[in-house]
């Protein structure tokens, strides 16, 4: 599903070039639940952004579902993300002025689905994450765990092949983290490939495979 070959990425800050990713080789099979671990500054977020086509890379190859992803136009990248990828963020990134069901329905708006149909679909997905009765509430009225469930429902609604979760439990207490991980595992059991970025060992331990990054290079892969 995901194939990285010698991917390099550096950021230019003034006169210094910061080499964030060094010759990263990586393969993630369809249906895997994988975690990427590393301390802060190890390049794990950059890696996730490249995998999620949120950011470009300097050299190497990235194939997603067999298709070469390189220097896509903003328009094609947006299409690709919309149709094939789902995102879950540490800080949820819900629209504060929309209620839960509207937040979940948003990706379908960019697919051109009619309002009535996308709200109905969004309700189904809210029900899946156990929040149907919260459909009319705005994010500000919800707990962190509830917000992350809404975000997961939003990531799922576009029927993605891969879901990228960036520190999905980073802002949650351990009890709530547990529930979110259960939900992620449940989604995984339905056959969706999931990549979790975390620095918490107990979260990483719940995935099938851990990819460790240090100073922008893959140091070990353990299952």
Partner 1 sequence: MFFDRWREILETLWRHRLRTSLTALSVAWGIFMLVILLGAGSGLQNQIEYEFRDDALNSVWIRPGRTSQPFEGYRVGRRIRYDNDDFDAIRERIGNVEHMTGRVYIRGSALVSYGDRSSTFSTRAVHPGHLHLENTIITDGRFLNVLDLRDRRKVAVIGRKVAEYLFGTEQPIGEWLSIGEVRFRVVGVFDDTGSEGEQRMIYVPITTAQVAYGAGERQDQIMFTIGDATEAEALETADEVRELLAGRKRFAPNDVRAARVSTPIAEVGRIRALFGAIRAFVWVVGIGTIIAGIVGVSNIMMISVRERTKEFGVRKAIGATPYAIVSTVVQEALLLTSAAGYVGMLAGVAVLELVDRYVPENDFLRDPQVDIGIAISATIVLVIAGVLAGFFPALRAARVPPVVALRDE
Per CB under 8 A, 106 contacts partner 1: yes
Is residue 149 a contact partner of residue 183, using CB atoms and an 8 Å limit? Answer: yes
Is residue 22 a contact partner of residue 217, using CB atoms and an 8 Å limit? Answer: yes
Q: Cα(116)–Cα(9) distance, rounded to whole angstroms?
A: 43
Q: Which of 35, 42, 90, 148 binds partner 1 (CB under 8 A)?
A: 90
Per CB under 8 A, 97 contacts partner 1: yes
Mask for 115-154, x = binds partner 1 (CB under 8 A): x--------------------------------------x
Q: Encoding tokens for residue 4?
A: 């990285």
Binding-site size for partner 1 (CB under 8 A) equals 30
Nearest to 39 by CA among 183, 186, 210, 215: 215
Which regions of 142-207 does DSSP assign to beta strands (E)?
162-166, 193-198
Q: Closer CB to partner 1, residue 6 or residue 111?
A: 111
Per CB under 8 A, 82 contacts partner 1: yes
H/E stretch holding 50: helix 44-51
Q: Cα(223)–Cα(192) distance, rounded to whole angstroms?
A: 18
Q: Which of 28, 36, 69, 81 binds partner 1 (CB under 8 A)?
A: 81
User: Contact positions toward partner 1, by CB under 8 A?
Assistant: 49, 52, 54-56, 74-75, 78-79, 81-83, 87, 89-91, 93, 95, 97-98, 106-107, 109-112, 114-115, 154, 158
């Amino acid at each position: 599903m995901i194939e990285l070959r010698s991917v390099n990425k550096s950021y230019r800050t003034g006169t210094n070039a910061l080499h964030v990713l060094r010759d990263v080789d990586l393969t993630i099979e369809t249906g895997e639940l994988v975690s990427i671990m590393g301390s802060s500054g190890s390049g794990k977020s950059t890696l996730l952004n490249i995998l999620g086509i949120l950011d470009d890379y300097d050299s190497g190859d990235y194939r997603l579902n067999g298709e070469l992803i390189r220097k896509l136009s903003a328009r094609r990248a947006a299409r690709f993300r919309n149709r094939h990828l789902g995102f879950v963020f540490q800080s949820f990134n819900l629209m504060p002025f929309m209620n839960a069901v509207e937040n979940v329905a948003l990706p379908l708006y960019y697919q051109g689905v009619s309002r009535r149909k996308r709200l109905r679909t969004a309700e189904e997905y809210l029900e899946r994450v156990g929040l149907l009765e919260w459909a009319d509430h705005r994010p500000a009225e919800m707990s962190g765990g509830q917000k992350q469930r809404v975000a997961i429902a939003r990531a799922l609604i576009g029927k993605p092949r891969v879901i990228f979760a960036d520190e999905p439990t980073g802002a949650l207490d351990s009890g709530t983290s547990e529930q979110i991980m259960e939900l992620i595992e449940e989604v995984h059991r339905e056959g969706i490939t999931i990549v979790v970025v975390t620095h918490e060992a107990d979260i990483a331990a719940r995935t099938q495979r851990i990819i460790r990054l240090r100073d922008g290079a893959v140091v070990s892969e353990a299952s």
